[in-house]
């Protein structure tokens, strides 16, 4: 889902930001940055400091320590010119009393835009969020989804360089959330603005984010491209949080014609890319990319390079899908399996299965200085 990155610089960066409330440290992040035009998904459980970091990066609240930079220059909450380049929408839409147009025009009014231009901009912004012609409706009689669209229009109408979205969809019911998530992802992609998107939902983060930072108890525990972070969680907690298994260690045994064979202490895992034999690596595979078949059944012809046998060691129902953990000669892999498939395959702990995944689904990262990480 990631889009081409313009990568023309670092409009927003924070160094050593710490926030304390009543002498309790709620955020302590050494470094975070968003490149121009990128969407940074800030993921973490409740109370991990996501909203606090958004408030600090958005110059809404000062950090206890540390510095925020916009275009390389240090900025603070008192820097109105810097703040004018940003706009935010929060978990609750917080619409002001008045009409939809009053709300969307709020920021433009503060910027003293003439009435005629304001009206045109408001109409255009409402059109973009699918609420064309809703100007005169009372803002406080809207449904949850409509109110969120108005809140997004209120931010977008300012054409900010940096858009801050703090769990904008988390209070919606699943059906509307699904629709809104697609709309938000499309709008963010079309607007090509630098975006910070705070969420505790990994599917939302994957849908909208180019890069990702995962926060735990105020600290950044993972950062990088969305696919890399989701495919190669750095530790067990992160893996568990994003619904995956921790990466396993291996050594490259051969690499040829864009394919690399890795000995992971049992099976040989094939991945795309070229690495020198002997390189120690971390290997991760997303559960969505792993298919399971009953042991002994004929597997349909497939291009999947990795096919191996394993034993189911754990099963957990997550909504409509099962998270099934399979042991393959001491290597743990997870797979997402539908309830119907679990029934059909009569899967349970101890079941023998065949495991299949493509080489392109395998994430590989060399271990730094040969150290285990």
In the bound state with another protein, the residue whose beta carbon lies nearer, of 128 and 154, is 154
User: What track of x and - describes contact with another protein for positions 134 through 173 (by CB under 8 A)?
Assistant: ----xxxx------------xx--x-----x---------
Establish if 310 lies at the interface with another protein (CB under 8 A): no
Q: Provide, rounded to whole angstroms, the least separation between the CB of residue 161 and another protein.
A: 13
Angle ∠(168,5,216) on CA atoms, nearest 5: 45
Where does this chain touch another protein (CB under 8 A) — which range of 78-86, 249-257, 304-312, 332-340? 78-86
| Residue 239 near residue 248, CB atoms below 8 Å | no
Judged by beta carbon, residue 94 or residue 143, the one nearer another protein is 94
In whole angstroms, how close is the CB of 226 to another protein at the nearest point? Answer: 25
Rounded Cα distance between 330 and 281, Å, is 17
C-alpha torsion 343→346→347→350, nearest 10: 160
Cα 249 to the center of its chain, rounded Å: 25
Nearer to another protein, 164 or 325 (CB): 164
Nearer to another protein, 110 or 317 (CB): 110
> Which of 2, 92, 255, 272: binder of another protein (CB under 8 A)?
92
End-to-end CA distance of the chain: 28
CB of 327 to another protein, least distance (A): 47
- Shortest distance, position 188 Cβ to another protein, whole Å: 17
Residue 20 vs 294, nearer CB to another protein: 20
Q: Which residue has the tokens 């990466």?
A: 247
How big is the CA angle at 170 (ends 184 and 42), to the nearest 5 degrees? Answer: 70
Q: Which is nearer to another protein, 164 or 215 (CB)?
A: 164
If phi > 0 it is left, if psi is from -120 to 50 it is alpha, else beta; for residue 369 that is left
Edge-first strand order for the sheet with 73-75 is: 24-34, 12-21, 65-70, 73-75
- DSSP one-letter code for 346: T
- The stretch near another protein (CB under 8 A) out of 94-102, 186-194, 228-236, 305-313 is 94-102
d(CA 133, CA 121): 12
Q: Which of 90, 134, 184, 357 binds another protein (CB under 8 A)?
A: 90
Q: How far is the CB of 111 from another protein (least distance, A)?
A: 6
Q: With beta carbons less than 8 A apart as the criterion, state whether 139 and 175 touch.
A: no
Nearer to another protein, 200 or 323 (CB): 200
Contacts with another protein, 196-235, as mask; x by CB under 8 A: ----------------------------------------
Under DSSP, the state recorded for 299 is P
Residues 95-114 that bind another protein (CB under 8 A): 96-98, 106-107, 110-111
Check: CB of residue 183 under 8 Å from CB of residue 194: no
Contacts (CB under 8 A) with another protein, residues 1-60: 55, 58, 60
- Cα distance between residue 14 and residue 129, in whole Å: 31
The structure tokens 């503060």 sit at 110
Candidate list 12, 26, 87, 226; residue touching another protein; CB under 8 A? 87
What DSSP letter does each residue of 195-255 carry, written as one string? EEEEES-HHHHHHH-SEEEEEETTEEEEEEEHHHHHHS-SSHHHHHHTT----EEEEEEEE
**Where along the sequence are the contacts to another protein (CB under 8 A)?**
55, 58, 60-61, 80, 83-84, 86-90, 92, 94, 96-98, 106-107, 110-111, 138-141, 154-155, 158, 164
């Amino acid at each position: 889902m990631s889009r081409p990155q313009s990568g023309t610089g670092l409009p927003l960066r924070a160094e050593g930001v710490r926030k304390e409330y009543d002498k309790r440290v709620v955020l302590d992040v050494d470094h975070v940055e968003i490149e121009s035009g990128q969407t940074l998904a800030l993921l973490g459980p409740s109370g991990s400091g996501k909203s606090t970091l958004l408030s600090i990066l958005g110059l809404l609240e000062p950090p206890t320590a540390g510095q925020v930079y916009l275009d390389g220059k240090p900025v603070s909450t008192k820097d109105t010119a810097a703040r004018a380049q940003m706009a935010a929408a929060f978990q609750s839409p917080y619409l002001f009393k008045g009409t939809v147009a009053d709300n969307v025009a709020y920021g433009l009014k503060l910027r003293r835009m003439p009435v005629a231009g304001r009206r045109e901009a408001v109409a255009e912004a409402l059109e973009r969020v699918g609420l064309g012609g809703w100007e005169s409706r009372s803002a406080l009689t809207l449904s949850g989804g409509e109110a969120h669209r108005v809140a997004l229009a209120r931010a977008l109408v300012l054409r900010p360089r940096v858009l801050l979205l703090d769990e904008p969809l988390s209070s919606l019911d699943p059906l509307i959330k699904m629709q809104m998530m697609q709309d938000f992802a499309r709008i963010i992609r079309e607007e090509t603005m630098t975006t910070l998107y705070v969420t505790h939902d990994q599917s939302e983060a994957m849908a909208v984010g180019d890069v990702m930072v995962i926060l735990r108890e105020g600290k950044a525990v993972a950062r990088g491209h969305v696919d890399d972070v989701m495919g190669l969680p750095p530790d067990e907690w992160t893996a568990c949080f994003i619904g995956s298994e921790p990466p396993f260690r291996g050594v490259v045994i051969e690499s040829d014609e864009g394919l690399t064979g890795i000995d992971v202490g049992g099976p040989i895992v094939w991945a795309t890319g070229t690495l020198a034999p002997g390189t120690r690596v971390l290997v991760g595979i997303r559960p969505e990319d792993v298919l399971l078949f009953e042991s002994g059944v004929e597997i349909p012809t497939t291009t999947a390079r990795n096919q191996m046998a394993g034993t189911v060691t754990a099963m957990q129902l997550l909504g409509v899908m099962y998270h099934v953990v399979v042991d393959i000669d001491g290597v743990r892999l997870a797979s997402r399996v539908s309830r119907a498939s679990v029934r059909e395959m009569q899967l349970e702990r101890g079941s023998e299965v065949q495991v299949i995944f493509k080489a392109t689904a395998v994430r590989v990262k060399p271990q730094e200085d040969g150290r285990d990480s």
